Amino acid sequence: MCLATVYKESDDTVICRNVSKILVEGDKLIIRDIMGDEKTVEGKILMVDLANSIVKLQCD
């Protein structure tokens, strides 16, 4: 199983760990971890590194 860590691009702070799914709804991203907990942020995906399980977001 490939799980990702989602970072805020501007300062590399961790938004969420063990992310299994990211849903895009307009300018909102719904981030779901392996426990089913969800976090919603406004922004956009800047980069996905599948080899290193990293996702970087530009957040408003």
> C-alpha dihedral over 16, 27, 1, 4, to 10 degrees?
-40
Structure tokens at 22: 């990211």
Average pLDDT, the chain: 95
Note whether 8 and 59 are within 8 A (CB).
yes
Distance (Å, whole) CA 39 – CA 32: 7
Q: Give pTM, 2 decimals.
A: 0.92
According to DSSP, the β-strands at 54-59 and 4-8 are parallel
Q: What is the mean pLDDT of residues 12-19?
A: 96
Q: Over 80: is that where the pLDDT of 1 sits? A: no
Structure tokens at 45: 């995906």
